[in-house]
Amino acid sequence: MRRAFAPLFLLLCCVACARPALRPALRPDAAATPASASATTPAPAPPPVPAAPYSTKPAAHRLTLVHLSDSEAGLLPDPAQPNAGGLARSRAVIAALAARATEGVLILHGGDTFIPAPELSVEIDKRSALLAGNDQLLVQASGLGNHEFDLGESFVADAIKAAAFPYVTASIDVRAGPLRAVVAEVGAATPWAHEVKGKLVPRVKVCSAPLKDGACGALTVGVVGATTEQLRVLSRGASSNLAVPVDLEGVRAAVQAQVDALSAEGITAVVLISHLQGIGRDLEIAKLLRGVDVILSAGGENRLAAEAHRLLPGDLVDRACAAIGEPCYPAARAGADGRPVLIVAAGGDLRYVGNLRVAFDDEGVLAEVDGAASRPWPVDDASLLELGAVADPAALAYEKRVVDALGPLLATVADSDVWLEGTREEVRNRQTNLGDLSADAILWAAKAARPDVVAALRNSGGIRAPIGRLDPTTWAKRGGPVRLVDVQAALRFDGPLVVVELTHATLVRSLESALRGAGSSKGHFPQVSAGVLLRYTTDAPEQTHEMDGGKVKAVRCPGARVRDLVLTPPGQAPIIVVKDGTQPTPGARIAIATLEYLATGGDGWFPGEAPVTFTNVEHGTEQSALRGFLAAEIAAGRWQRGAAYVDEDPARVRVVAVDGAGVVAPAGCAARPGSSSK
């Protein structure tokens, strides 16, 4: 979930309170319990049974890994849950967990440390509020994610240079451009993390206790980073200045080289910060690496947890845990060397901080996991109470300064009685009302310039937050004012709008691309405008691509997931693009409104042998389209406080999954459904 910011009075209340207020933190299906129960320590999860045996030698070193990832723009408390999230609580939880780690601690961030957002744009003391806030999280090193590149290489170079910690990645070779200025060349000797703060490096080392006279009297931990090989597909700001592996094997080789360099120095405890976009990729790479003990999984905002672990209201254990097994935090696998590898992930948006406590033998092999201490901690008042922690007054004061700076964005655009669903787990897996609303707004803006546009399509990954409030008693999702800051938080990339002229066949190829991995929270999942009916199946083979430098070069095997696609512009006859999996007129041409990011190959959309033809919508962006569309709908009396956009209304179905039993792969392509593709 993404946030905008909490109302000012809530932050002032936090400053004034001598003790955090408690509210019950219940799962949606849980029975009501007294508020005090929310601070009760959950039953400890059993230690994970590794896929490879732990060392039987005595424990020689103990280490606590305190970790977070994908914080993006989670600088302020969640407006839907004002007793959760935010910089002040996160720092307090991190500091308290680190203080408990009396025998060694490492504090790491998994990457996606910032994202285009109001908090990134406003300045506090002549520096981005979000970037300055990251320095207060006590992080010793961070991975480099894809969102760091959203505003281009110059921006990320400046952000790294000013950071109080290094960014670590082994899988990006910076050959030219602005990032060269912050690259620290690493030879045979691995630098200490504090020596290369404000730099981009492939690996660092961290002493798990304070250095004394430059020497580490405790466990020295090597940290290696990996950034997704799909960087150019996921972020338009990554240029040809960067050499990026083309596949997982390329990432593995780059990481292994750095792990081997650490081993040559006698550093045998190694953590990989893996920003490979999800736990599934990390379960794969764990089996391919030698000498890695722990993988901090990032980029997918997976929430690994045991059923016994307390989560924030409305949050569930990650769906990947069903396959991983109990306990899911940490997940355990065997590396290529037969040694155990532990994988952890604790979601994003500063809603959780992970705490993994392990022991190593004298050769740096994992000897045990403390199952009672290892868990994700919700960033909320109940955790502060349990940890005996208090939000730092300086951090609370900083949050207030950010709220004051964002004040002009409190203007209301519209009022809604319905929750506009943009939560990651929802919008990336199904049609939602916020997806509908954004697509309708794109169509409205495009038709003003091009009346021949028949529909609008967009990706779900660009929708970063819901708009609404959670009921403080029942945790039900409610509507509320739609403010400028809510529009910016939900559509924070604010991508330019374009009109694409294409054939039916190209449109189908794009939707087949968008439906890869449907049901597994992929950002390329489609949202469509009114008048579009898309029926698809996940039972059929998905489209696969040939890649070139991180971009889709061509379709290797066409998918068979689109079963029906009908476009019905207002006042016109339906345009049947696909019927029962067949295209009646594949060469017919139409005009579709979409995002420039997608039209230029972002998220793998519009794949083909040549780029699609598009024209820009003058002065049209995601945010301006939504603001203008809402104003037009209100003026015409059609908005009715959001009544026309009730979520999951059967009368409003545009995108629906159907049974695909019996659907076969196109000739010459793999027959198995759900095949992996990039």
Better-scored residue on pLDDT, 675 or 102: 102
Work out the average pLDDT over 177-184: 93
CATH of 8-403 given 3.30.390.50, 3.60.21.10, 3.40.50.300, 3.40.718.10 = 3.60.21.10
> How far is it, in rounded angstroms, from Cα 299 to Cα 342?
17
Pick the closest to residue 156 from 198, 98, 107, 126 (CA basis): 198
Is the Cβ–Cβ distance between 519 and 504 less than 8 Å? Answer: no
Torsional sign, CA 474, 480, 485, 489? positive
pLDDT of 553? 83
Tell me: pLDDT of 19 over 80.
no
Pick the closest to residue 473 from 8, 26, 5 (CA basis): 26
Which tens digits make up the pLDDT trace of 145-165?
Answer: 999 998 888 889 999 999 999
Which tens digits make up the pLDDT trace of 630-670?
Answer: 999 999 999 999 999 999 888 899 999 998 877 877 766 65
Which tens digits make up the pLDDT trace of 446-472?
Answer: 999 999 999 999 999 999 888 988 776
Q: How confident is the model at residue 39 (pLDDT cuts 50, 70, 90)?
A: very low
> DSSP characters for 411-438?
-EEEEESS-B---HHHHTTS--HHHHHH
Tell me: pLDDT of 575 over 70.
yes
Torsional sign, CA 422, 423, 429, 432? negative
pLDDT of 675? 40
Tell me: pLDDT of 109 over 60.
yes
Tell me: pLDDT of 306 over 50.
yes
pLDDT of 28? 30
411-531+588-650 fold: 5'-nucleotidase;  domain 2 (3.90.780)
Work out the average pLDDT over 103-121: 92
What's the distance, Cα to Cα, between the start and end of the chain in Å?
25
Which tens digits make up the pLDDT trace of 194-239?
Answer: 999 999 999 999 999 999 888 898 999 999 999 999 888 888 777 7
**Percent of the chain at pLDDT exceeding 70:** 90
Contacts of 66 (CB under 8 A, 6+ apart): 94, 97, 98, 101, 105, 106, 107, 108, 353, 354, 355
Which tens digits make up the pLDDT trace of 419-444?
Answer: 999 988 899 999 999 999 999 999 99
Average pLDDT of the chain, as a whole number:
88
pLDDT of 232? 84
Which tens digits make up the pLDDT trace of 469-513?
Answer: 877 677 788 999 999 989 998 998 999 999 999 999 999 999 999
Domains in the chain: boundaries? 8-403, 411-531+588-650
Which tens digits make up the pLDDT trace of 591-633?
Answer: 999 999 999 988 999 987 667 889 999 889 999 999 999 999 9
> Would you state the torsion angle of the CA atoms of residues 175, 176, 179, 185, taken in this order, to the nearest 10 degrees?
40
Work out the average pLDDT over 98-106: 92
Better-scored residue on pLDDT, 464 or 190: 190
Tell me: pLDDT of 37 over 50.
no
